[in-house]
Amino acid sequence: MKAADIKKICALGGGGVIGSSWCTNFLWKGYAVTVYDVNDEALALAKKRITANLEYLAEKKIITQEASRQALAQASYTTDQRKALQDVQYVQESGPENYDVKKAVLAILDKYGSPETIFASSTSGLLITEIAKGSQHPERCIGAHPYNPPHLIPLVEITKGEQTSDAVVKVANDFYRLLGKEPIVLQKEALGFISNRLQIALYREAVNLVLTGVCSVEDVDKAVCYGPGLRYALLGPNLIFHLGGGQVGLKGVLEHIGPSMELWLKDMAVWKEFPAGSKDILQKGVLQEMQGRKQEEGKTTEEISRWRDEKLLNLLKLLNRI
């Protein structure tokens, strides 16, 4: 099978935030999508989210109103496992982050799906080798981790298990490119993959700065948003340091300020579990931050999410990625 042969997709666990966002992307790009979840309430929520996402894209003139209507017409919703997998070439699973749940989903695919159907898990960091133990066809199993919201953020991290076929990885890589994504393929399995490992390393130090009284939750967020975050939207950390080195480049930077960096590293957090009481402190801090935002930037979760999506669209347009 080639990427061009993929015509119909099943979104297993499509009722959640990630699943419905994936569905939006598939429908927007012209694919037929069957949304599967365990109950009608989850499906109703999925339909509401997908409809809102497509209407928003039309409102922002990313797609036309007619294209939005046509995309919605390509979606079907079911709690019937057999119907969900009928005539499907690709499965995007976005269920709970739990090995047993994902293995159970794979068993459903083995029972009702074609042996050639590719299984892609949206797992945030579980090992595909372990997930694939739930399948009679481990060669078709990959990880395809998006960044939220998947219908806007280009990154997809593709991971393969010990028995994953290279041909399946190639088809998946080509398929996500057809969706307008920027897929990267991990050379070996790693818990958390690439982006989440980088993100949690940053977040551990962000939490530590708050807990040790260096700054507030809000000031941590400001430091990222108005400093390195702006550059990270354009370049990765290696290129940023390389440019900072001028003629001597990355190696020169590390030789020049490396000793200072090592002092910082020795003073930074190394804990492996979130300290007691930290979750309450962080929650209180972020709620205070939300209330201090300008009205036009949103103060509720829904308002801020909408503001975020609008700014993401503007940024993606600037970068010619949409």
Task: Tell me the pLDDT tens digit for each residue of 193-228.
Answer: 999 999 999 999 999 999 999 999 999 999 999 999
Residue (of 20, 78, 35, 28) closest to 181 by Cα position: 28
Task: Tell me the pLDDT tens digit for each residue of 256-292.
Answer: 999 999 999 999 999 999 999 999 999 999 999 999 9
Residue (of 14, 13, 11, 93) closest to 49 by Cα position: 14
Q: What is the CATH number of the domain that holds 245?
A: 1.10.1040.10
Percent of the chain with pLDDT over 70: 100
Ranges of beta strands (E only) in the chain are 8-12, 32-36, 75-78, 90-93, 118-121, 141-146, 155-160, 182-185
Judgement on whether residues 80 and 173 belong to the same structural domain of the protein: yes
Judgement on whether residues 110 and 254 belong to the same structural domain of the protein: no
By the 8 A CB rule, do 211 and 281 touch?
A: yes
Confirm whether 204 is domain-assigned: yes
Rg (CA), the chain: 21
Q: Where are the alpha helices (DSSP H) in 182-248?
A: 195-211, 217-225, 228-232, 237-244
Paired residues of 82 in beta bridges = none
What is the domain range of residue 208?
195-291
If you average pLDDT over residues 99-115, what whole number do you get? 94
Under DSSP, is residue 279 helix (H, G, I), strand (E, B) or coil? helix
Under DSSP, is residue 73 helix (H, G, I), strand (E, B) or coil? helix
Confirm whether 310 is domain-assigned: no
If you average pLDDT over residues 110-132, what whole number do you get? 95
Predicted confidence at residue 186, as pLDDT, reads: 97
Task: Tell me the pLDDT tens digit for each residue of 9-34.
Answer: 999 987 899 999 999 999 999 999 99
If you average pLDDT over residues 131-154, what whole number do you get? 95
Judgement on whether residues 269 and 126 belong to the same structural domain of the protein: no
The confidence band for 322, taking pLDDT boundaries of 50, 70 and 90, is confident
Predicted confidence at residue 13, as pLDDT, reads: 87
Predicted confidence at residue 15, as pLDDT, reads: 83
Last residue of a domain, one of 185, 204, 222: 185
- What is the pTM assigned to this prediction? 0.91
Task: Tell me the pLDDT tens digit for each residue of 27-63.
Answer: 999 999 999 999 999 999 999 999 999 999 999 999 9
Number of domains in the chain: 2
Judgement on whether residues 124 and 150 belong to the same structural domain of the protein: yes
Judgement on whether residues 287 and 152 belong to the same structural domain of the protein: no
Judgement on whether residues 68 and 207 belong to the same structural domain of the protein: no
State the DSSP string of 229-253. Answer: HHHHTTS-HHHHHHHHTGGGHHHHH
Judgement on whether residues 168 and 214 belong to the same structural domain of the protein: no
